[in-house]
Amino acid sequence: MQRGWALSEEPADPHPDDIRATTGRRRAGPAGRRPVQDRPVHTARTALTLGAAEIVGKLSMLVLTVGAARMLGVADFGAFSYALAVGMLAAVLPMWGYDAVVIQRASAESTRLRALLAELLAMRTLLVVLAFAVVGALTGLTSLSGRQGAAAGLLIVAAVLMDTYTEAYRSAAAVLERQGMMAIVHLMQRLLTAGAALAALFGDTGLTGLAVAFLAGTLVGPLTAAVLTRRTGVAPDWHAVSRASLVRLNRGTWIIGVASLVLMVLFRIDTVMIAWFVDDRAVGIYAAAYRLLETTLFVGFVAARVLFPLMASTPEPKRVQHYTELGISMMAAVYVPYATLLWCRGHGVLRILFGTQFADEGTGMLAWLAPAPLFFGMSYLASFSVVAAGPTLRALYSSLVALVVNLGLNLALIPRYGGLAAAFTTTLSYAVYAAALILLGRTRMGTPRLPRVLLPAVAASALACAPLLAPLPLAPALLGAAALYVACWLLVTQRTDPHQVQVLRRMLRRRRLT
């Protein structure tokens, strides 16, 4: 089995005939089974396409966040960040692992995709209504700024819940290997949302105007995704939805759902607890530092979206280990140098983006949060690797271990140390979660060779520290660090895993030819 970017040098398996019933383009085959194609250059280009769209989308949301922090003030920015956190926690209920189950089942039996998509959308609608009703009933706990703040908060929560429909269509696109289409939808949605929100901010409409614009921009995503998915020939088969089919959809999802809930608790509960135990201002400072973590998490999402269908189609342990190592390698190439940048120049980055006040009080938090993206990405990918062959209690046990660590340390430390404690606990919890998944999931995903996978990024980042620590302005320091990092990463990777470099060269060569 080849490693790294080189997924396989053998020709991909043909698609079965009965895919014609799903896409109108592919041929049928026995029993409706279609292993997801295993093509190294195609997979790498898909990852880069998704990554490019995510980068632009995240940058647009970063601009929105910076604008909100500077124009709303620390307290209202804290209220906005708190409402987002509550919305993300509420969205766990309608998500509940259904997307992973649909990808896993449809990747193995593609003729079920239309029925599974309809069941997913029906179940999601029921749970979105329930989640919003619960949050609405608890507005006293989910607002920070009185009646107006509660109304704005509910609009933001509604926007986050609506975004779960876009994720449903992402699942179908992953099975169809049409993720580039959904990357365009995601990019358009983010750009429109950021543009509408910034217009509201410049119009001095305050927190309520920002919330209305945020909801309006978000709704573009699921509506556009529904139209484009239907045009591929994959319209939801509503006739397949019944009580029995929804019961089958839910069978086994509780394990993935609880694990997803834990991951979201690890992701957002720190902001909620700071609001409870400290104040709005502390939430605003922490949210600014946290945004620099959150902006890069798309790398982990992209890795999982690209690799999980390949794992689920043939979930043999060696194959799953191969893709897990590939995903960690992809993430380390981005996250390790990014953590190095934040350690060396975190104060300057915060000052440029958010201002001196945020930089002076948030640099310590940012230092503790710097390794969190890597640990988050590893835990996120490993949670998919463990369930590639179906739900398992190992994922649940791992999530519970991380949950106990997170809640215990947050309750003990946040009242005294505030955002610093939250940052430390977040990073440690993700590390514990990743370690537990790898240890408990060995029989399903093998044992990833972490030293070998992480070595290129760690060695190259160590070399890149020199210009970052030198007394240079930020821009030339970044250019010098980037040049050293890329050269060293290529050199070390050529020695440890030459297939990665070979596939990257092939991909770039094809792009030049086209």
* pLDDT score recorded for residue 71: 85
Is residue 51 scored above 60 in pLDDT?
A: yes
Res 498 pLDDT > 70: yes
- Region 495-499: what's the mean pLDDT? 80
pLDDT of 485 above 90: yes
Please give the pLDDT value at position 15: 35
Output the pLDDT for position 30: 35
Confidence band of 265 (pLDDT split at 50, 70, 90): confident
pLDDT at 111: 83
**What pLDDT sits at residue 509?**
58
DSSP H helical segments within 370-473, as ranges?
372-386, 393-417, 419-440, 442-445, 450-469
Residue 54 has what pLDDT?
Answer: 67
In this predicted structure, the answer to whether residue 128 has a pLDDT above a threshold of 80 is yes
pLDDT at residue 20 greater than cutoff 90: no
pLDDT of residue 435: 94
Assess whether pLDDT exceeds 70 at residue 461.
yes
pLDDT at 309: 77
* Least confident residue range of 13-22, 298-307, 310-319: 13-22
The answer on pLDDT for 210 being more than 70 is yes
Pairwise pLDDT comparison (186 vs 197), residue with the higher score: 197
469-482 average pLDDT score: 92
Q: Does residue 514 carry a pLDDT above 80?
A: no
> Domain limits of the chain?
43-63+72-251, 252-448
At 41 the pLDDT is: 52
Q: How far is CA 365 from CA 276, 318, 412, 424, in A?
A: 18, 39, 17, 8
Residue 254's pLDDT band, with cuts at 50, 70 and 90, is: confident
Q: Which of 341-345, 387-391, 457-461 has the lowest mean pLDDT?
A: 387-391
The most confident of 93-107, 108-122, 136-150, by mean pLDDT: 108-122
Section 295-310 average pLDDT: 81
Long-range contacts of 198-207 (CB under 8 A, 24+ apart): 198/63, 198/64, 198/67, 201/67, 201/68, 201/71, 201/72, 202/71, 206/72, 206/76, 207/72, 207/76, 207/79, 207/80, 207/145, 207/148, 207/149, 207/152
Mean pLDDT computed over 390-398: 80
More confident of the two residues 133 and 46: 133
At 117, is the secondary structure helix, strand, or coil?
A: helix
- Measured CA to CA, the distance from residue 346 to residue 362 in angstroms comes to 9
| Residue pointed to by tokens 């989640």 | 131
pLDDT of residue 10: 32
Cβ count near 478 (within 10 Å): 17
Average of per-residue pLDDT across 285-308: 83
Task: Please check the confidence at residue 131 and state whether its pLDDT lies above 60.
Answer: yes
Which residue in the block uniquely carries the two structure tokens 């977040």?
426
Q: What pLDDT was estimated at residue 40?
A: 56
Is the predicted pLDDT of residue 140 greater than 90, yes or no? no
Amino acid making up residue 355: G
Q: Mean pLDDT, to the nearest integer, of 79-89?
A: 83
Mean pLDDT across the stretch 278-301?
83
| Higher-scoring residue by pLDDT: 276, 38 | 276
Banded model confidence at residue 7, pLDDT cuts 50, 70, 90: very low
Range of weakest confidence among 39-53, 109-123, 361-375, 435-449 = 39-53
The pLDDT of residue 277: 86
- Cα gap 358→63, rounded to integer Å: 16
Summary mean pLDDT of the chain: 81
Predicted pLDDT at 364:
92
pLDDT band at 146 (very low <50, low <70, confident <90, very high): very low
Mean pLDDT of 211-232: 90
Nearest to 463 by CA among 492, 484, 489: 484
Q: Which residue has the higher pLDDT, 78 or 259?
A: 78
Higher pLDDT, 109 or 169: 169
Q: Is the pLDDT of residue 250 over 90?
A: no
Query: Could you tell me which residue, 315 or 459, shows the higher pLDDT?
Result: 459
- Confirm if 275 and 144 have CB atoms less than 8 A apart: yes
Q: Is the pLDDT of residue 23 over 60?
A: no
